[in-house]
């Protein structure tokens, strides 16, 4: 049996420059993985590539999700299959309320594929009543004020509120594999705990999580079983939680030396 998400020998170029240089990684539902690595090593490039961002060109290698090579699928199709990315820098959508944005997102995710084979969906939308109920439940779980739903997406949100909005979106979409790109950055201690607790409540045998982070701190709350170190476009080391602690103490120099030496 192969893993739910299998990344094989992934090479990715951005504007003609190769950033990922043969990356391998496997994630199953029910598992929590963390990727750590120096600035510019390619962590967000991996996240954006997994979601199908058009600026990231896969020049070699494969990405298998639930038994299907998804390299050619659109971001929308990937989301419908059950992939989710919480962005490092969430964008603002002026004039669209959080509630209406989330309802559109939930409908896009839920819509069944039609028979055309080109990834179009037939309408099958969540009822307003069911949506409100779900939203209320998830916002309570994340300890969010109800007024939040009426605000425009990320417009005037603090850094912490933007990250909470990302986790709320994840809670609403119920993905099978979620990638959290530096969800901890910009959060104060309380917000970090609340967001982490929110993620932990979402954990189940039906959800795999990939946490991208620079700091051990978030890993005190969201506890990964697997830590991977990404340096210069490749996973150069994998291990258990002890690896994150060692990095926090000693930085990346020893990793780079070990890689250069081996």
Ligand X SMILES: Nc1ncnc2c1ncn2[C@@H]1O[C@H](COP(=O)(O)OP(=O)(O)OP(=O)(O)O)[C@@H](O)[C@H]1O
* Element holding 188 (H helix, E strand): none
Q: Examine residue 45 and tell whether it contacts ligand X (CB under 6 A).
A: yes
Q: Examine residue 41 and tell whether it contacts ligand X (CB under 6 A).
A: yes
8 A C-beta contact, residue 121 and residue 80: yes
Q: How many helices (H) and strands (E) does the chain have?
A: 8, 14
Q: Examine residue 59 and tell whether it contacts ligand X (CB under 6 A).
A: no
8 A C-beta contact, residue 84 and residue 173: yes
Q: Examine residue 15 and tell whether it contacts ligand X (CB under 6 A).
A: yes
Structure tokens at 262: 């081996």
**Rounded Cα gap, residues 190 and 22, in angstroms:** 38
8 A C-beta contact, residue 212 and residue 47: yes
Within 238-257, the residues that bind ligand X by CB under 6 A are none
40 binds, among Mg ion, ligand X, none (CB under 5 to 8 A by kind): ligand X
Coil, helix or strand at residue 58: strand
* Shortest separation between residue 103's beta carbon and Mg ion, angstroms: 29
Query: Of the candidates 185, 151, 177, 179, which has an alpha carbon nearest to the alpha carbon of residue 165?
Result: 151
* Residues that bind Mg ion in the complex, under the rule CB under 5 A: 43-44, 88
8 A C-beta contact, residue 128 and residue 151: no
8 A C-beta contact, residue 210 and residue 37: no
Query: Of the candidates 203, 108, 81, 103, which has an alpha carbon nearest to the alpha carbon of residue 153?
Result: 103
Q: Examine residue 16 and tell whether it contacts ligand X (CB under 6 A).
A: no
* Shortest separation between residue 89's beta carbon and ligand X, angstroms: 9
Q: Examine residue 14 and tell whether it contacts ligand X (CB under 6 A).
A: yes
Q: Examine residue 49 and tell whether it contacts ligand X (CB under 6 A).
A: no
* Shortest separation between residue 152's beta carbon and Mg ion, angstroms: 25
By CB under 6 A, name the one of 27, 29, 32, 43 that touches ligand X. Answer: 43
Within 209-228, the residues that bind ligand X by CB under 6 A are none
* Shortest separation between residue 63's beta carbon and ligand X, angstroms: 16
* Shortest separation between residue 11's beta carbon and ligand X, angstroms: 13
Which residue in the shown chain puts its C-beta closest to Mg ion? Answer: 44
Nearer to Mg ion, 66 or 214 (CB): 214
Region near ligand X per CB under 6 A, out of 39-47, 63-71, 137-145, 187-195 = 39-47
Residues 6+ apart with CB under 8 A from 216: 244, 245, 247, 248
* Shortest separation between residue 56's beta carbon and Mg ion, angstroms: 13
8 A C-beta contact, residue 171 and residue 139: no
* Shortest separation between residue 212's beta carbon and ligand X, angstroms: 7
How many residues line the site for ligand X (CB under 6 A)? 13
Q: Examine residue 198 and tell whether it contacts ligand X (CB under 6 A).
A: no
Nearer to ligand X, 39 or 118 (CB): 39
**Rounded Cα gap, residues 51 and 63, in angstroms:** 11
CA-based radius of gyration for the chain: 18
Binding site for ligand X (CB under 6 A): 14-15, 19, 37, 39-45, 55, 88
């Amino acid at each position: 049996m192969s893993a739910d998400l299998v990344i094989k020998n992934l090479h990715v170029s951005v504007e003609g420059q190769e950033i990922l240089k043969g990356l391998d990684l496997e994630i199953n539902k029910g598992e929590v993985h963390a990727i750590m690595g120096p600035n510019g090593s390619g962590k967000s490039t991996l996240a954006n590539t997994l979601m199908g961002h058009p600026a990231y060109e896969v020049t070699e290698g494969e990405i298998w999700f639930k038994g299907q090579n998804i390299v050619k699928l659109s971001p929308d199709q990937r989301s419908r299959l059950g992939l989710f990315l919480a962005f490092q820098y969430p964008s603002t959508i002026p004039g669209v309320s959080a509630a209406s944005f989330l309802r559109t997102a939930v409908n896009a995710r839920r819509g069944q594929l039609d028979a055309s084979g080109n990834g179009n969906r037939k309408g099958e939308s969540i009822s307003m009543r069911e949506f409100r109920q779900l939203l209320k439940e998830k916002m309570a779980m994340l300890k969010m004020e109800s007024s939040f739903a009426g605000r425009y997406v990320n417009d005037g949100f603090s850094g912490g509120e933007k990250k909470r909005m990302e986790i709320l979106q994840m809670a609403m979409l119920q993905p099978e594999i979620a990638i959290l790109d530096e969800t901890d950055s910009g959060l104060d201690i309380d917000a970090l705990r609340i967001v982490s607790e929110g993620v932990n409540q979402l954990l189940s045998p039906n959800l795999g999580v990939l946490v991208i982070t620079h700091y051990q701190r978030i890993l005190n709350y969201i506890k990964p079983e697997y830590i991977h170190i990404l340096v210069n476009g490749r996973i150069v080391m994998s291990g258990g939680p002890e690896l994150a602690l060692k990095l926090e103490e000693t930085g990346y120099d020893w990793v780079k030396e070990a890689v250069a030496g081996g």
